Structure 1
Amino acid sequence: MISIAVVDDDDEDAARTAGAVGRYYGGDASRYAVTRFTDGDSFLEGYRAAFDVVFLDVEMPGTDGLGVARRLRELDGQVVLAFTTKMAQYAAMGYDVDAIGYLVKPFDYFDFALKMRKAEALVAKRQGVTLSLTIGTQTHFLSSHDVQYVEVLGHEVVYHTADGAWKVWGSLREAATLLEPVHFALCSRYCLVNLEWVKAVVDNTIVVGETSLPVSRSKKKSLMQALAAYYRR
């Protein structure tokens, strides 16, 4: 289930946003939850990182939407943020708070769906994926956030974490497919690195956690592009 906050003092506009969410999920209330706040101050009061996505009106009494967004980013750097506004000139002001964009009210459903699709993709990346690893007769569940890098040794794939390594039968291609939704990139034919754990790239070496790994010449360009995209997100 995705948890969405709608922060808007206008009842009609808030209802339109909530209705668009419902339409996006085909009215299946098991897939989403919408919580509405009538002003930014009540939204921020006692804030806990309980929301995946926030639709934030710019023009509100009290603290305006941009002020709320700046305070929100001090409290929560992960939540996906989108602005709603009746004044298009405010639209370009959301980038310093890492907003995914804006919707000019009254927005049409197509524009909303595009923003929602982008928000879902970001939420999925930030939540990570859960890996199901079968070792002997036991199945272990591992969060992708905990995996620093993955290497292939013969017919075994080794998932390295800060707490140790997990070996399973398989191929690096299979591991790459499982980890495709999140931030992993190849540093060589034999190794995938989690960009969350990268500390440095020095010449042909990448430092992941406390481990230095070789970077092959053929993979360096794509690896650096992946790192640049990761830090721009």
Structure 2
Amino acid sequence: MLKIGFCDDDLNVLKELQVLVDRYRVEKNREIEYAAFQSSLDLLAELEKGVRFDILFLDVLMPGQNGMDAAREIRDIDTAVKIIFLTSSPEYAVESYTVGAYFYQLKPIWQESFYRLMDSVIAECKKAEQRSLIMRCREGISRIELEKLMYCEVMGRTLQFYMEDGRVLESMGKLDDLKEQLSVYANFLRPHRSYLVNMDYIRTLSSKSIRMQNQKEIPIPHGKYSDIKNRYLEYVFDREQVVL
């Protein structure tokens, strides 16, 4: 179920957006829920309660807190949501991309252009969803791109996700549950009860440990080396990588 949020101080614009979404979901046969807000403060209050949206339509010029400032606060809570700015002026178009906006839509909004935009942003949401996890981390709601996840370590009830860019994201959970979630992806291997590794980031493999690209040494339990080596080599050969 796709969840969309609309935020605009103009009630007529909110009603127009709701009509467009209602038409779109009927004609395209899509399951979509939406919620409307007349102020960014109301929207932020809902996000802070844990409410999550896939797409946010956010007016730029609103009394009190404008859309750009609201977007910066939204990014502190949710790095994954697709933000689409609404405005009657192109003045803030460049600035909109500093907060990771997906699109900058000029008003008035015509049905044809709205449908094209919805088709595009929904396709992007689906593509991101196929190779990512949505996690509630200390930083807020984050989308963890699996191709950029090097490995995960569990410490007590905390999962630590080590990313390619050096970030470490934390979330409450069990490694058993995460392994089950990622079982459909051939590149994830659990060599140790405390680690789940992305084999694309293995630098070297020895009888005692796995060395990841960030130089992290992950221990291999006694008697497990042969199974781990065979699994890794099978994955490498399946991907037609060269092993010397």
Q: What amino acid sits opposite 1:68 in the alignment? A: A
**Equivalent residues in 2 for 1:127-206, closer than 5 Å:** 127-128=129-130, 143=181, 146-147=182-183, 150=186, 160-162=188-190, 199=201
Distance 1:162 1:37, change over 3 A: farther
User: What does residue 24 of structure 1 align with?
Assistant: 24
Q: Secondary structure at the match of 1:26?
A: helix
User: What does residue 43 of structure 2 align with?
Assistant: 43
Compute the TM-score of the two structures, normalised by the length of structure 1: 0.58
Of the three residues 82, 95, 98, the one matched with 1:93 is 95
Q: What amino acid sits opposite 1:41 in the alignment? A: L
CA contact (8 A) 1:49 1:76 kept: no
Q: Secondary structure at the match of 1:33?
A: strand
Distance 1:200 1:85, change over 3 A: farther
Q: Aligned equivalents of 1:27 and 1:163: distance in 2?
A: 48
Q: Aligned equivalents of 2:185 and 2:106: distance in 1?
A: 42
What does the per-residue CA deviation read over 1:139-188, in whole Å, with 9 as the maximum and x for residues that have no partner? xx954xx25952xxxxxxxx644489xxxxxxxxxxxxxxxxxxxxxxxx
User: What does residue 125 of structure 2 align with?
Assistant: 123
Q: Once the 2 structures are TM-superposed, how far is the Cα of residue 74 of structure 1 from its aligned partner?
A: 0.6
Q: What amino acid sits opposite 2:118 in the alignment? A: M
Q: Once the 2 structures are TM-superposed, how far is the Cα of residue 127 of structure 1 from its aligned partner?
A: 3.0
Distance 1:162 1:31, change over 3 A: same
Q: Once the 2 structures are TM-superposed, how far is the Cα of residue 27 of structure 1 from its aligned partner?
A: 6.3
Q: Secondary structure at the match of 2:62?
A: coil
Q: What amino acid sits opposite 1:4 in the alignment? A: I
Count of aligned pairs between the two proteins: 168
Distance 1:160 1:97, change over 3 A: same
State, as a whole percentage, how many aligned pairs show the same letter.
27
Gaps of 5+ in 1: 130-140, 151-158, 165-192, 221-233
User: Which has the greater radius of gyration?
Assistant: 2
Q: What amino acid sits opposite 1:106 in the alignment? A: P
Gaps of 5+ in 2: 132-178, 205-211, 219-227
Q: Aligned equivalents of 1:29 and 1:216: distance in 2?
A: 38
User: What does residue 7 of structure 1 align with?
Assistant: 7
Are 2:82 and 1:80 equivalent residues in the alignment?
A: yes
Q: What amino acid sits opposite 1:35 in the alignment? A: A
Q: Aligned equivalents of 1:98 and 1:79: distance in 2?
A: 9
CA contact (8 A) 1:100 1:115 kept: no
Q: Aligned equivalents of 1:3 and 1:163: distance in 2?
A: 37
Q: Aligned equivalents of 2:191 and 2:74: distance in 1?
A: 33
What does the per-residue CA deviation read over 1:65-111, in whole Å, with 9 as the maximum and x for residues that have no partner? 00010110010001111111011222222111111111111021222
